[in-house]
Structures are given as C-alpha cells and as structure tokens.
Chain A
C-alpha cells in the first residue's frame, strides 16, 4: 500500500469538497440518532456484561484453585482467558472511550475506570483516544501503525533490520499488553536520548507503569498461585496461558482494524486543516471490519465494527451492529470501499502485509515493477499531451 495521496487510483478522486461535507452531515445524523435512542436498555446491557464477566472471572479462578487436576486446569484457563478478553475489550476499551459516561455512574466512567492491563488507564487513554483516534493511519503520527517498529508502507525505505519484522510482530502479539504499555510511554523515543530519559515527566509515567505491572504480576503470578497451595505451579501456568491467549486475541483483532489490504494510510501533510467531513472520510478509509457471528463481535469488544467505532468512538459498542447497515449504505452511495472480511481472512491479509513489507519493495517483482514504471511513464506522457 502507498499513502493515499500518492496513489494513481486515488479512491476519493470522485468526491468534491461538498460531497465530503455532506458525508459529514449524514454521519452526524446517524450519531445523533443513536444518542437520542440511548437509554435504559443500553445501561442494563453494560451492567449485565460487567456482572457476568466478574462472575466468570471469580468462577474460573475458583476452579483454578485445584488446577492440579487437568480438567480443572482446562476449564479454569479457558474461563479466565474469556473473562480477561471481555474485561479488556467489550468492557475496558469501551468504558475508557467514554462510551458509558452518559450514564453518570461513577463506577462505570472513563475517568474512574482501571483495567486488567499493563498500561495504566490514564496513559492508555492519552495514547489511544487522543493520538490513535485522531491521527488514525497517518504515517509517523499514529503509533498503532506498526507501533513504530515495523515497516507499514512501501514508501518507508527498506533496511535489512525489517527482515525480522514478522518475528517482532509475533513477539508483539505474545506480550501485547506490555508492548502497549511501552508504546503508551513512547519508550523507544524516550530512552533514546539522555535528556528525555532523565525528564521528571517520563520518570513519573514510567514509575506508574512499573507499579501497575508489579500489581498485575503479583496478582496473576504470585497471589492466586499461592492461594492454590499445591496447585501453585499449575495455576501460575494457567494464568500465564490465559494472559497469552488474551494477548494473541487482542493483537489479532487490533491488527485487523487498520492493517489488512484495502485500508488506506495517509501522509502527515494531508491532515493539515482537515475539515470535520475529511476527518470522517479518513476514518472510513483507514479502518476495516471483521464479519462474523454475534459471539465473535462480542469477543472483539465490537472492534469488529472498527469502521463504525472509528467514526463514533464514544457511542455504546452495543449500537455499532445496529448502525452498520446504514454506514455501509453510505459507503456505497459515496462510491467508497467498505473493507470487511472474516476473521481468518483479515488476520491472514494483515500478516501477509507484515511479511511482504519485511522484504524490499521490488523483491521478486522487479520485472513487474519495471513494466509498471514504463506504463506509468507512458500514461503520464499521454496525459501531458492531452492537456497540452
């Protein structure tokens, strides 16, 4: 993929500035309709999910007290993995987006919530809500795009270090929550220079992360194993496995959101003076959905409706499925591509891209590229002649 602005077949060339503003107006109307409909059912839904998630976690941890017994290990680990996934995705991610702030319940509010994750809620909200959601898919601004360690675009110059990026991506997936905490801290950038390393601000934030990580680890790898007595080792293994499953799952879902083929990236310059409508348009082109069952949508925290989520990050997740047909119809009417696919397909597509970009652009395609360049040159000449 190449940043949108450099594409020969620019997917928005057919839209006028008025079209884009009109698109914004229509999307605002969809948003307003959900805000007006929001009510007791939505509140009951999130409370039910939180209630069930907590009971599932308690139950699974109780079963793991006797994890020495293999069926208990399997059941407890599966339950805990599911509980952790729901806690991070359908609950944590969405509460921290402020999707439920309108209920004015101090127990379910973005400013008071803390989640089962290495990154402290406060830091994650800044990195995710303010940076990623505003600068979605803008190269060099959106850290979620390759997390600053991967080559995500043909235009990024290739260096041999990128050969290892499939491996990085895999490790990234395994330790996803810690990786996120590191990105939220901008660890790479901050460790590079002495001045940044020593800045009190960075140190304060790093301390918060370490404190959070210590608490998380004490819980999963010391306290609950210790409570299991003779099952210490097996419970520790169960908790580590549940965390690993949650990490792999979250990583896969999130990779599907902005990485599969068909998703556009943008140049830094392109967002200068961006209008409300253009912002919407960038979210539309920079996100991809996952199609599947209700259970799948739920387990992804409705991030399977990534397009709807990026358009309206603070609407209750439960409502995304409901507005998806309207949003898709809008894509159709404006001649835009609503990127979606099954989970296996989108995961494969994203991985394919990670692997392809780990190699130089012209790897195995040198001839094809040459033909393409000649064709481009000819078209350009023809274009120039026609213009003259």
Chain B
C-alpha cells in the first residue's frame, strides 16, 4: 500500500481523532447508537432496509420492495440477500433471491412464497407492513449467468423462479412500451422450463409469457394440473438442443437430484440453487454447552444446534442456514455433533483437538450427545 502523505493523511487522522472524541462523549454507547435514532439508513450504519411496498403476486406470494441502506453495494442478478425481520418480536433471518430489474429509485425487491406454517414467509406475505425497518446483509450467492452471453436452459419449479426472474429482468427489462432489447443481451439465447402446480399459483407467469411473446426467451410452462407431472427425461424432447446449453436449475431437492442424474448421464453442466437443505440423518440429541456464556441448551437429534441455541436466546452467527455459506461456523471444543445431511459424526477431544476446537457448521449439525462449543 502507498503510504498516505500530506493533507490526506492529516485529514484522516483528524477524522479518526474526532471519531474517538465522539465515542468518548457517548460512552458506553457509540455515536452510531444515537445517529440510528434519526437516520437508520445512513452511510456507515449497519445495513438495514425499509419496506416500501408489498405487492401481491399470487394468492400466497408477494413481492417486497425495499429501500436499502446507503451502503448497499448492489448485486449480480441471481444472487440472494439475507433479511432479518422481527416476527412476534423475535429476529429471524432468511435468504431471498433478488427479483428486481434495473430501477431508477435504487430500491430492491424479493418475492416470497408463503410456505405452510412458514414463520417468516407467512409474515412477509400476510402481516408485514410498509414502513417497517428490516435488517439486511450484502447480496451473496454463486447462482448467476456468465456475463458474455451464451445458450442456456433454466429449469425452475415453484418459487424457484425468483432468481431466474431477477436475471431475466436485468437482461430484458420491461417498460410501459414493452420489452427492451439491450445490446448486452443480444448474445443470450435462453429457454425457460418452468414447473408449477397450476397457472394461477405460478409467480411471474404473466411476465414470463410476455418475454416469450416478445421473443426474448422461449418459455416451456408445465403446469401439473394440465400437463401432469414432469419426468426429467421429457426434457430431451421439450428442449431438443439441450446438449448445446448450460443448465441452471432452482427448485425442490427432488427435482434437482433427478436433474443432476439426468445431466450426469449425458455429461452436461448443471448449476443449481436450493432454498432448503434436505435433512436425512437423525439420531440421539444431547446437551450443548456454550463455553463463554455458560448457557446450556438441550437439543434433540433432529434440530440444528443453530435453531436450538437461538430458541434459548443465545446470539449465534448465521448465514444461509443450509450448510453452504459457512457463516455459522463455531469451534466444537468437546463432544460430538452429527451432520444432518450425511449423518457424519464430528468429535472434538480436549487436549487432542488443535486451537479452540474443530470448526463445525451449526446450521446443519445436531448434538450427538453432550457437547461444548467455544462461543
């Protein structure tokens, strides 16, 4: 790094000193705690957003339009954002794919489908109100298109359409005068195979039809109530040039699994996005101790340690909550945990385990007997 010299450096140290002075005037709080009272979306604040509008999409899905804080760094279409909302007074974090296209007002949006008994999704679709302050993290995720064009197939099911709509809106924005054909989108040839129980249940079906009619994409809509259930082998027929396309798929685990087998057999590339981690391995639970606070939590063998600890009021780091981001990793200092996806057991033995312990992902690990985390 080039050392700062002259006025720049002086300005920086002055700024730093002023900040220190302000901290001394507000101790034990921080200046930010007072500024947050008046301007929670200002630059430098923890990343938050304000719900601007909630627009119904289908009977059980809605698009949430959010004004993000000044430090929102933007996203690549296809990525998701983690949102912290208070449901019944309790902060809950969930991931939602960004669905907005280019917008002059800088607002972002996510589209949520209320799943049965879903705590956060039902709250966002049915109970949340415009004006509510929510918490955000910067966009993340690897589910995106290459920037230099190409031939692609999207396979989406149900709410799995959301990251795809985010990409399509950026390639082919729709204005009052119709679909805009941008120069940068000319190199893309896209087929969308979208599965949904029925057309009225299908989020963005009108939008997809419009893009299809304008020739921006080719849409193959498959509604179970009309077309029956889809066998992945039908894809060869529905998309004859399948072999020349890169496939991106988002939907339930079963569909993605079938697609994976189908593509592996044909040696085709597949990129997937999953909303929920399948959990298979269940065993005995146990008591989890959090070494630093001394809190003890009794957890059964099916509940991720993350969920059990949060229910007991322990503040836990977290991310995707499905084992992909490593945002929830904590050192296991003694005892065993079970990976809920594979059943694999990880054990830490004090004295034998290096450092503070074995790093484990709490979102997909359940207690396997008594164990202790250094947290």
- Residue numbers of A with Cβ under 8 A of B are 38-44, 51, 54-55, 58, 98, 101-107, 109, 111-112, 114-116, 212, 215-216, 218-219, 223-224, 227
Interface residue? B276 (CB, 8 A):
no
Q: Tell me the nearest residue of chain A to B87, going by C-beta.
A: A40
Given A103-B90, A215-B24, A111-B37 contact (CB < 8 Å): no
Task: Please state if A216 and B25 are interface contacts (CB–CB under 8 Å).
Answer: no
CA distance in complex: A243, B127 (Å):
44
CA distance in complex: A101, B24 (Å):
27
With a cutoff of 8 Å between Cβ atoms, the chain A residues found around residue B89 in the complex are 38-44, 102-103
- Give the most central of B29, B89, B310: most A CB within 10 Å: B89
Q: Tell me the nearest residue of chain A to B25, going by C-beta.
A: A223
CA distance in complex: A314, B25 (Å):
31
Q: Tell me the nearest residue of chain B to A116, going by C-beta.
A: B28
Interface residue? B2 (CB, 8 A):
no
Chain B: interface secondary structure?
Answer: mixed
With a cutoff of 8 Å between Cβ atoms, the chain A residues found around residue B86 in the complex are 40, 43, 103, 105
Task: Please state if A55 and B37 are interface contacts (CB–CB under 8 Å).
Answer: yes
With a cutoff of 8 Å between Cβ atoms, the chain B residues found around residue A223 in the complex are 21, 24-25
CB of B254, distance to nearest CB on chain A (Å) = 32
Task: Please state if B91 and A105 are interface contacts (CB–CB under 8 Å).
Answer: yes
Interface residue? B6 (CB, 8 A):
no
Interface residue? B315 (CB, 8 A):
yes
Known pairs A111-B293, A116-B28; list 14 more (Cβ under 8 Å). A40-B86, A43-B89, A54-B29, A54-B34, A54-B37, A101-B313, A102-B89, A102-B313, A104-B91, A115-B28, A215-B24, A215-B27, A215-B28, A223-B21
Task: Please state if A104 and B24 are interface contacts (CB–CB under 8 Å).
Answer: no
CA distance in complex: A114, B24 (Å):
14
What are 22 of the A-B contact pairs (CB < 8 Å)? A38-B89, A39-B88, A39-B89, A40-B88, A41-B89, A98-B313, A101-B315, A103-B86, A103-B89, A103-B91, A104-B90, A104-B315, A215-B27, A215-B28, A216-B27, A218-B24, A218-B27, A219-B24, A219-B26, A219-B27, A223-B24, A224-B25
Interface set, chain B 87-105, CB cutoff 8 A to A:
88-92
With a cutoff of 8 Å between Cβ atoms, the chain B residues found around residue A106 in the complex are 315
Q: Tell me the nearest residue of chain B to A104, going by C-beta.
A: B91
CB of A232, distance to nearest CB on chain B (Å) = 15
What 1/0 flags go to B308-335 for Cβ under 8 Å of A?
Answer: 0010011100000000000000000000
* For the complex of A and B, 9 pairs with smallest distance between CB atoms: A43-B89, A101-B313, A114-B28, A104-B91, A39-B88, A40-B89, A215-B27, A39-B89, A223-B25
Interface set, chain B 71-119, CB cutoff 8 A to A:
86, 88-92
CA distance in complex: A115, B26 (Å):
11
CA distance in complex: A55, B92 (Å):
28
